[in-house]
Each structure stands twice: as C-alpha cells, then as structure tokens.
Amino acid sequence: MPHINIAGLPGGFLTTFSSLRLVASGLAVRRGPRFLFRGLDMSLASGQVMQLTGPNGSGKSTLIRLLAGFSPPDAGTVRLEGAGEEYPGAFLHYFGHREGLRPALTARENLAFLAGLLGGDEARIPDALGKLGVARLLDLPVRVLSEGQRRRVALARLLVVDRPIWLLDEPLASLDVEAIATVSGLVAEHAKAGGMALVATHQPLAATNATLDLSGRREAAA
C-alpha cells in the first residue's frame, strides 16, 4: 500500500493514497442567465485517471478550480473523504493555464521556492527536470525559455512535491509530441503508484480509465 510523506505542512503527516476519494455531489455553477453545469456528480479515487472533456466555455477550468477549492459552487458540495481534519489543499496539485514561474529566477530556483513553500524535496529537482526532458535548463532563467520549455519546468513540480491528487488543466498545451507522451506517462505512473488525476485536455490521454464530458450541460437558469 503506497504512502506519501507530505512534510512542512500543518503538523506534517503520512497519508495513504487508497484512503482518499474526491467526491462532488450536485454541483452547479451559474454564469449570468445560464448554468455552465448543474446536477454534476463525480468521484475520483486511488489509481484513477479521469479525462475532462468538452468544448471551450463548457466549464472545464471552472470545475477544476472549484475542486481545488479556489471558488465555491452555486449549489452542491465537494468533499475529500479519508483526509480527516487536515487541510484538503495539502493533498492536491493544481496546474492551470499559467505556469506560476518567476521569469528572473532559474528553473532550479523556481522549483526550490515551490519545494520550500509546499513541503517538497529540493534534491529531486534535477531528476524531475530530467524526466521532463529539460535537465539542461536547470540553471537558466525562465525568461529565456520557450513556452513549451516553461511548461515542462512548471510540470516538474508534480515530481518535486508529493501530492496524491493531481488537478491538471490543459497540461499538454504548448508541448511537442515527445513531451506529450512524457507527461502522459507520468500521469500513468502516478496512478499506478496509487495517486489520482483529473486532466482537462482535448488530446487523447493513454492513461485514462474514466471520462467526464461537460458537453451539452450548459442550460438556461430558471
């Protein structure tokens, strides 16, 4: 039974991947006179990779941010089963459209900052960048990197800081074919180790064993 050690967070703790389940019930989000979605139920468990699909504007980013705790739904609930009283954010990685990197810092310095902030392991940084195919960028400032390179440096945080739940919003954007295969493989390895991932992407994801399609959920509010 795989374990994850999350250090540097409130109290520090060990938790078991298989004891966690992210559950949403009856979710609704309204935008003006229409609902992006409502009555949405989903469950994400150990070993599961769920691909989130739907056209632009269907609410994929909104749902991921809601599950990450950045905004409340207009109706429904989100709960993390098996987390006890611990802060739910300590169990998840959110990866959005913005990389969250500081241009003046090197790749190493950016990841070291995140490791210190989130309780990760700085010693993992070279290997993490190597797995993303950008080891040679370790000591280059982010401002000189291409968009795809910045994307891969930012994705390396998934390997530097352990989190059982990955909420990834278009992580394959701006990546070449080789990098897409690499990231898909990392998601698969994460699930095989007992983690879980919700991935919004328009591209096929080999590791997927469940799909949540937001197409056709948009409707007028009463």
Give me the pLDDT at residue 82, please. 83
- Please provide the DSSP assignment of the chain as one string: --EEEE-SSTT-EEEEGGG-EEEEEEEEEEETTEEEEEEEEEEEETT-EEEEE--TTSSHHHHHHHHTTSS--SEEEEEEET-TTS-GGGGEEEE-SS----TTSBHHHHHHHHHHHHT--GGGHHHHHHHTT-GGGTTSBGGGS-HHHHHHHHHTHHHHS--SEEEEESTTTT--HHHHHHHHHHHHHHHHTT-EEEEE-SS--TT-SEEEE-TT--EE--
Domains of the chain: total: 1
Could you state, in chain order, the average pLDDT of each consecutive group of 10 residues for the chain (222 residues)? 35 52 94 89 94 92 94 92 69 90 97 92 96 97 96 96 94 92 94 93 86 77 56
The b-or-e profile of 77-89 (16+ CB within 10 A means b, else e) is ebebebbeebebb
The CATH number assigned to the domain holding 55 equals 3.40.50.300
157 assigned to some structural domain: yes
26 assigned to some structural domain: no
Give me the pLDDT at residue 140, please. 98
Give me the pLDDT at residue 15, please. 44
137 assigned to some structural domain: yes
Give me the pLDDT at residue 98, please. 86
81 assigned to some structural domain: no
Give me the pLDDT at residue 12, please. 33
Distance CA 208, CA 48 (A): 8
| Phi then psi dihedrals of residue 75, to 5 deg | -160, 160
82 assigned to some structural domain: no
32 assigned to some structural domain: no
Domain that holds residue 144: 46-70+91-220
Give me the pLDDT at residue 9, please. 35
CA 64 remoteness from chain centre: 8
33 assigned to some structural domain: no
| Phi then psi dihedrals of residue 210, to 5 deg | -160, 155
79 assigned to some structural domain: no
